[in-house]
Every structure is written in C-alpha cells, then in structure tokens.
Structure 1
Amino acid sequence: MSDVHARMEALEERLGDPFDAANGAGFAAVLTADEREEVPVGGASALDEFGILSEFVPGALGGRLERVDHLVELMRSVYRRDPSLGLGHCSSSLLGAVNVWTAGSPEQRRDTAELLLAGNKVSCAFHELAHGNDIGSVEFAATPADGRLVLNGRKESITNLDRADAMVFLARTDPSGGPRSCSQLLVPTAGLDRDRVRFLPRFRSVGMRGVRLGGIEVDSFTVDEDALLGALGTGLETANRAFQLTRIAMPAMSTAMLDTGLRVTLHHVRERRLYGRDAASIPMVRTTLANTFADLLLCEAFGTVAARSLHALPESGSAYAPAVKYLIAGVTLDAFEQLSLVMGSEFYRRDGQHGVFQKMARDIKPVGFGHIARAACLSAVLPQLPVLARRSWRDAAPAPAALFVPDAELPPLDLPGLRVTAGGKDGLVMALNAALDDDVPAPLRPLIERQIQGMRELTEACAGLKPRDLSIAATVEVRDLAARYTTALAAAACVGVWRHAPGDDFLARPDWLVAALTRLEGVAAGQPEDVPADVEGALVDELLSRDDRTVSFGLSARQYR
C-alpha cells in the first residue's frame, strides 16, 4: 500500500464512524457544534493529531503535498463528515498558502511551511464585499513609502482572520489601475499593531456555520517591502496561477457532501415503507438515486482528471479550473435539490439520524459562490474560447493516459510554472475522439458521437467570436458557449476514466458512462434528463452494494468507516 493510501486509511480510522452517536467527530457531534456555530472539538482534535495541515505543504518543504488528486481524495474524508471542519479548520489555509508556494521567496516559503507543519493557520485576505469576485478592483492599499509599505483599508468575510498566524493580503500598490496595479503581501499576525489594526465582528452565515468569517480594518500600518510575495505589481498574476489549484481542488473535495447526502437519503428510503412496500423500490425514488449516483461519479471524474492535469497538462489549468468550479457546483446543487424531494419532511429535521442532511444541503450552497462565483467562472473561460477553437480543438494531441489512471506516474507539481492563460492548448477534449478508436458498446457510441458533434459545432461557434463578444457584458447566448465547454470537458473526463478502468471494475462497465453522458447532455441543454431506464437498475444495484460494503459512492469506491 502506498504512503498516501495508508494515510487515507489512518485518517478514516482517526475520524471514526460518522454514524456513531458517541463519536466526537461523528454526525451527532457535528450537528451539536453546528447549533453553536462551531466545528466539533473532537473532529478538530483528531485532525490536529493527524497533522492535517501538513497535507497542504509541498514535500520539498517537509510536508506531504505531492499530488493534487491525492490531496482531494484524502480531504473528502473530512468534508463528508463536516464541510465546516473541512473548510474552516483545514483548506482555508490552502487558499493563502498556495500563493506563497507560487511566488514566495525561499524564506517566506520556509516560514509558512514551518507555520503549517506546527498546526497553525494562514488566512487569505483578498475579497472585499464592495467588489465581490472582482479582486482586481480592491481598494485595500499598500502604498510604497521610504522603502516600506503603508497599509490602509478593509477586508471582509474572510475565513480565520481572527485566529490566523499569518495573512496573505491582496492590496492595491498602484492607484492608476491596470493589470500590474495589485500586489500580494505575507504578513505575520504577531507583529500587528493593535492600535492600527482592528478585527471586525464575526460575519454569521446560513451554511458553513462553523466557519469563522471575519474582517479587518487597517489604518496606516507599515510593513517592510520584504513582505511582498513576488515582485511589486504581480499580485493578480500570482493569484491567477495559484488559484488554479484551489479552484479545482476545493470543488472536487466538496463532492463528499453529495456522497453523504446520497447516503443519508438511501438509508432513509431503505428503512421507510410507503404504499405497502419499501420506499427504495418506488420508481421515482429509484430514478432520483440513480441520477444522483451518476452526477456524483461524473463530478468526481471531472474533478480528479482536472487535478491530475495540473501535473500533466499545466498549460491548460486556466481553462480547466473555472470549468471545474462551474460544473461541479451546478450539478451538486441541483442534485441536493432532487434528494431533498425524496427526503420529504425529513429534509427539515435538524436532529435525529437524518439531521445531517439539512446541514449538508445548507453547506453545499457556498460551493456555488465561495472563492469565485459560477458566473465569474464563465467570465474566466469565455475569453479563452476563440484561441482554443482555432489552435487546439481541431487537431490536438491525445490526452495522456496518466490523466485517467489512479496512481499513474505524474510530473511534479510546479505552481510557478502554471500559465495565466491556456494559450490555445487543451488536450482533454480529444479523449472523446480517441474513444471511437476502440470497440465501443452500442449504447455508448451514439452518446459519444453526439459529444464529438457538439464539439465540432462549439469549435465553429467559438472560432467566430469577436473581441467585443468576450467581455463581462457578453450575451446569454455567448456565455452559453462557455457553459457548453464545461460539459464537454466533463464528458471527456468520464470517457477517459471509462476507457482506462481495470476490466473488473464497475467503472469499466458502460452503464455508468451511459448515465453520466446522458446527464451531461441534459446539463448542456438546460433540461435535466433522467438516466436511461436500461441502466438505472445497474446503478441502483451498485449503489446498494456499496452501501452494504460501506465504501464511497464516488470514483474511488474507497473503504469508509
């Protein structure tokens, strides 16, 4: 067993059975803590003992971060129990740290690594409520003066600001504006002058209630220029590189919430009798279970393949990262809505054995707007479409098999080497064409052919786009092209996973791929489509089997506690 898989098992063992009412990291403790707007003490202690923040530190700096897909899979163990614990106690530090790994000096990287390895936190102070996702318009200023920087302004709704040991600020260093007008700064909290720095009252939230959202107000606080991360004026460029990792990894981690929502729903309908039979046998219920299972598999396939692409196709991350965020957020949000219909009145319970469902249904909401909103994701993809269409989609090299094979050897992660734009390079979509070189089962062939035809049409439409079509004011029809591209990428990821799955694996069967491609066609058309009746039974049978064996419903089918 590899070291990372041993760590996954060790983390599951330490966190224990989430359905055990006596478990300090279980659902009962999670719900009790959520009522207090906190994370469960038992869960936080278990993660600290495990050394969870070491997972976010590169191996070269003494940590355990080697592969993004392994980090995602390990963190799903946390998110499936309590997303507030996953974000508030763990991955919020990743948001700040990736900027240090991308642009920090050797001393900044070393100091931040030591901080995280000791179990301390880093906060990422980028957003301001007045500007939302438009971080290029921040007003928080760092004004150069006599070899130092004078900080002034306000940051709001930032995770862990009041208990972080270091903060990464995005600040305006050139009031004239432009792409080089912002810089990043790494500021240890130990040196803050409390006469010039004021922490704002906590922001309370509907979902993720255990996450401490705070703010800070700074009045002429001075730091040395060696606080800069990278050169003056490179703050946005650094963020565009660093956040490719987080905008793939964090939505991919969040699929564990859907795993829990599906598992709780399945337990509910297996225990409940309606109209003289098990609720799980009612046609509408079976269809919803099969739809959600397919949605979970396609989201995890896309997220996992995109995570590996940061190693194998680093030039394409600027296109893949917003696409992952846009599609996974949309699919998981819609899936929870459908599961809530099956849960019925149990959906509203805040206690009892099914009480965690309503928490997951609330906590999943920020996936659609946290870090970057879905609309902003389309705005990030859209300007890249014409050059992708002209340079790559007509004649790209085949996607490397390592994207689709678990634990296949991958190049080392090189965050500074990630590209700010894809430059017309996209190898993933070619996985669709490659599939037809094989002996494709009859039910799959028309689905794959329609995906390929859809890419041809998308190529022609995008190649003809003009610069005026690509702004924030783009029409709905043009923005739909970007949305269609996200479904094409997800379809290619699913096809690649199916083609490279071991012959005895469920993922090597065509049933789930037929279901996933059908669901993606519905997403692309804006009209949800149920999985075909002739594969529904196979998906429900697999779902029931996994539940009986206590393994994940996602791509890995990994053993759970």
Structure 2
Amino acid sequence: MKIQDHAFAADLQNWINEHLSPYTPTSKAEKLVSIHSLVRELAQSNLLTRGWPAPYGDNDIRKQLYLHFSLARQALGAVGLCLASHIDIGTRGLLDKGSPELIDKWLPKALTGDAIFSLAMTEPDAGSDLQGIQFTANKSEEGWILNGVKRGITNLPFADAALVLARTNPSRSPFSYSLFLVPIETAGITREQAVPTLAYHGCLGGISAKDAVIPLDNLVGPFGAGLMLLMKHLETERLFVSARMLGISTYLIEELILHTRNSPQCALQADNVARLKMQLMAFEAYFETCVNAFEEGELSAKDSAALKYMGSSLLKSASNTLADYSGAQGYLRGTPAIRFTTEAMGLALAGGSEEIMLSIIGNTL
C-alpha cells in the first residue's frame, strides 16, 4: 500500500515491532492483546487517529488505512479487527453523527482507551438482512426502553459502549430503524460470553436487553435514519476491510514465494503463485483507485463493493494455496494455514457478504 508520509510509516512499524512482536506469526496461533491497553499505547504514541479530521488528526485517511494494512501484514488479524471496530467504526460513527453532548462525554474516553466501542447490528436471526432485526427501542418519559438480543458482534466481550441499531417502528420501511449509544453497564443489559468462532477467538460476543432504559439524548443521528446512516458508513468500512485483506494477502503471497523458492515440491506450483501475485497487483491498483475516489468524495457503492469482493476472492485463493502447500499440516487446527483460511471466511462477511457485494454491483449494470 502506498503512503506519502514515510515518517508515519516508520513510526508505526517501530511501534508494532516494540509492542506487538510477541504476537507475530512465529507461534501457531495469535494471542489477543488487551484492546484497552493497545488503544492507550497507540494514543500515547500519536498513532491512533493521525488520519482523523481536525482537531484529532490531519484528515488523511491513508494513515488510518495504512494502520490496518500494517497490522494485517504482520498477521495480527484479531488485533486489527478489534481496533477497526473500536476506532474506525464505533468511535468514528459517534464523531460523525453523535450529539455534541455525547461526543464530549464519550469521545475522550474512546481516544485514550478508557472506553472501547462496538457497532451492534446483527442478531441471531438477522445477519445480512438488517431490516429483519427484532431489537427494539421504544420512547417513554424515562428514556428509550430497549429489548432484544445482539450477537456475533466484534468487541462486545469487552466493550464499554456500543452503537446499537434498533427497530423504532414495526414496519420494514428503511426509516423504521434508529441508532443509539448504549453503555454496556446499563441496568437491564446483560453481556453474553464470547461466541465460539473459527477465527478471531475471543473477539465476538453479544448482549441481551430486557427493559433497559437509556437517556433520550443517546439517540445518534436523526430518528428513523439509523439504517441509512449505516449503509453509508459501510462503504467506508469496506475500504478498511479491503486494507486488511490487502495486508494479509501480501503476507501470504510473500510466504508462498518463499515456499516456491525453497521447496522443490512447491516449485512445481510456481505458476499458481505467479497468478496470485498478478491478482495481488491488480487488487492493490484498484485499492489505490478507490482510495483516491474516497479522497475526492466520489467513491461509489459499486466500487467499494467490487473492491471488497475482489479482495475476498484473492484472500481465499491465497489462504487455500498456503493450506495446500502445507500438506496435512495445512488442515490441522491451530496452524497458521488453517487460521488464515478461517480468517478469510470471516473477512468475507465483514461489511456485507459476497452475495450482497454482487447484488450491489448487479444493481448498477
């Protein structure tokens, strides 16, 4: 990934080497660091929001993307997933659409690691179909009364607050949903244990709400605009997901090239690796095109969807090839090959499934 600020790139790599080196892929499985501590250390090093709008940064999204690319290239998938959910999805959503009062109360905590954020959309029976959610928020004199379940949400096992999408009208109209800031310690909110997953262990969890009451001022954005806000937000999220796909794919293909050079058996598959390398070059070029379009305010839903779909296809091919190169070891639980294969499956869902990406692209034909 290209970045003009070479000093930032060097500072970030030095920070990763100093703080995260124990978690690089020399071991069989990645350990999950404390995200509270990670955010605190990044903030103290002036690396957390360097690309955010003023007064928090210099409004250079490439720095935020490069942060996630670099973590992914170090094979730090779970760390990047949790960090993105906190700072570039949950907290950024608060900054973009929250009231001045909510921002003043929560943003300083989020930027110092004293509060970790999450974005809670999916439910046990509503994944890609967000209009099928059953989590409700009903207005009363005391505040918004919340009821329902959210599950499979990044950071919820340890988050302090979440932006929660809730149904505020029984119809399936696009304007029947609103977004709320929900402190996890609110009475009536129960945190569920981390959901068992094939990858990103310990990162995904859920909450249940039973007559939980939050202040009326905790509405984020206009009433009834929650789904529309998230749909627009997902276009940006897909850029960050693509940056992580680019980082992991770069790491995997570099590993495959080493296998090809050092193993006579793997050398027979050099054509496959060459094909993956060309696909990586094409993906990186398209990524740069989309970042440029975003900077000009012209990134379309079609391009963000196509970019993510392209990255997902590449990452799956690269991870499957590494598994094949590893022989029987490539299919044993806990090995790097199987971890990357399952991470590829998880990233394919982030920001919308491949089927949704194809639907978005198809609607523009």
Shorter-chain TM band: 0.7 to 0.9
Within the candidate set 179, 193, 206, 2:198 is matched to 206
Residue identity matched to 1:382: G
Q: Secondary structure of 1:28's partner?
A: coil
1:97 alignment counterpart: 91
Residue 116 (structure 1) shift: 2.5
2:174 alignment counterpart: 179
| In the alignment, structure 1 residue 377 sits paired with structure 2 residue 357 | yes
Within the candidate set 236, 251, 273, 2:227 is matched to 236
| In the alignment, structure 1 residue 126 sits paired with structure 2 residue 126 | no
Q: 1:53 to 1:216 in 2, by over 3 A?
A: farther
Distance in 1 of aligned mates of 2:23 and 2:294? 32
Within the candidate set 139, 151, 165, 2:160 is matched to 165
Q: Secondary structure of 1:97's partner?
A: helix
1:26 alignment counterpart: 24
Within the candidate set 148, 173, 178, 2:143 is matched to 148
Note if contact 1:159-1:212 (Cα within 8 Å) is conserved in structure 2.
yes
Q: Secondary structure of 1:132's partner?
A: coil
Q: Deviations over 1:397-442 (max 9, x none)?
A: xxxxxxxxxxxxxxxxxxxxxxxxxxxxxxxxxxxxxxxxxxxxxx
Note if contact 1:160-1:212 (Cα within 8 Å) is conserved in structure 2.
yes
Q: Secondary structure of 1:203's partner?
A: coil
Q: Secondary structure of 1:220's partner?
A: strand
Residue 342 (structure 1) shift: 3.4
Residue 350 (structure 1) shift: 6.5
2:215 alignment counterpart: 224
Distance in 2 of aligned mates of 1:320 and 1:201? 37
Note if contact 1:154-1:216 (Cα within 8 Å) is conserved in structure 2.
yes
Residue 98 (structure 1) shift: 3.3
Task: Report 1:97-116 matches (<5 A).
Answer: 97-116=91-110
Q: Deviations over 1:516-537 (max 9, x none)?
A: xxxxxxxxxxxxxxxxxxxxxx
Distance in 2 of aligned mates of 1:317 and 1:44? 34
Within the candidate set 265, 271, 278, 1:294 is matched to 278
TM-score if structure 1 supplies the norm length?
0.59
| In the alignment, structure 1 residue 245 sits paired with structure 2 residue 252 | no
Note if contact 2:85-2:154 (Cα within 8 Å) is conserved in structure 1.
yes
Paired residue total: 358
Within the candidate set 136, 145, 151, 2:131 is matched to 136
Residue 300 (structure 1) shift: 1.9
Task: Report 1:43-54 matches (<5 A).
Answer: 48-51=40-43, 54=48
Distance in 1 of aligned mates of 2:78 and 2:121? 20
Residue 68 (structure 1) shift: 2.5
Q: 1:347 to 1:121 in 2, by over 3 A?
A: same
Q: Secondary structure of 1:218's partner?
A: strand
Task: Report 1:431-510 matches (<5 A).
Answer: 462=365
Q: Secondary structure of 1:202's partner?
A: coil
Residue identity matched to 1:108: L
Note if contact 1:102-1:238 (Cα within 8 Å) is conserved in structure 2.
no
2:67 alignment counterpart: 74
Residue 14 (structure 1) shift: 2.5
Q: Please, which runs of 5 or more residues in structure 2 have no aligned partner?
A: none
| In the alignment, structure 1 residue 307 sits paired with structure 2 residue 330 | no
Q: Secondary structure of 2:126's partner?
A: coil
Q: Secondary structure of 1:74's partner?
A: helix
Q: Secondary structure of 2:192's partner?
A: strand
Within the candidate set 67, 78, 81, 1:84 is matched to 78
Q: Deviations over 1:77-101 (max 9, x none)?
A: 111221111112x111122223223
Distance in 2 of aligned mates of 1:286 and 1:17? 35
Higher relative contact order (CA 8 A, sep 6+): 2
Q: 1:252 to 1:23 in 2, by over 3 A?
A: closer
1:501 alignment counterpart: none
Residue identity matched to 1:78: L
Q: Deviations over 1:482-509 (max 9, x none)?
A: xxxxxxxxxxxxxxxxxxxxxxxxxxxx
Distance in 1 of aligned mates of 2:38 and 2:296? 34
1:58 alignment counterpart: 52
Distance in 2 of aligned mates of 1:183 and 1:167? 13
Residue identity matched to 1:83: G
Note if contact 1:95-1:123 (Cα within 8 Å) is conserved in structure 2.
yes
Note if contact 1:69-1:304 (Cα within 8 Å) is conserved in structure 2.
no
Bigger Rg, structure 1 or 2: 1
Note if contact 2:136-2:148 (Cα within 8 Å) is conserved in structure 1.
yes
Q: Please, which runs of 5 or more residues in structure 1 have no aligned partner?
A: 386-461, 463-561
Task: Report 1:225-374 matches (<5 A).
Answer: 225-274=216-265, 279-280=266-267, 282=268, 285-314=269-298, 316-348=299-331, 355-374=335-354
Note if contact 1:127-1:155 (Cα within 8 Å) is conserved in structure 2.
yes
Residue identity matched to 2:288: T
Residue identity matched to 2:349: F
Query: Alignment RMSD, CA only?
Result: 2.8
Q: Secondary structure of 2:197's partner?
A: coil
Note if contact 1:54-1:65 (Cα within 8 Å) is conserved in structure 2.
no
TM-score if structure 2 supplies the norm length?
0.88
Q: 1:273 to 1:205 in 2, by over 3 A?
A: same
Residue 273 (structure 1) shift: 3.6
Q: 1:228 to 1:46 in 2, by over 3 A?
A: closer
Q: 1:39 to 1:107 in 2, by over 3 A?
A: same
Q: Deviations over 1:281-337 (max 9, x none)?
A: x3xx221221111111222222232123122143x4322222222221123212332
